[in-house]
Structure 1
């Protein structure tokens, strides 16, 4: 499976129901990375931005 398939499966299983929490954008993710001194993988960033809530 690739990351897009997994994200689509998560969306399907949730019935498109999501918490009313704003998803992080690239700027916020970059801020977190700087604060912790670690760079997230591109796949992980994609998950954060699309289904992390």
Structure 2
């Protein structure tokens, strides 16, 4: 709970983080380094589009 003032704030963060974090963790053991970099670049691009759209709404 380091860095959180209350248990509730830690829980809110972890609740949303658990849904977001798998998006940025592709199955690395099944990919070449080049494929991994390409996949992460694609995922970050999608993330930027989603968050930009969410902020505009």
Task: Please indicate the TM-score interval, normalised by the length of the shorter structure.
Answer: under 0.3
TM-score (norm 1): 0.24
Quick check: which has more Rg, 1 or 2?
2
Q: Greater helix share, 1 or 2?
A: 2
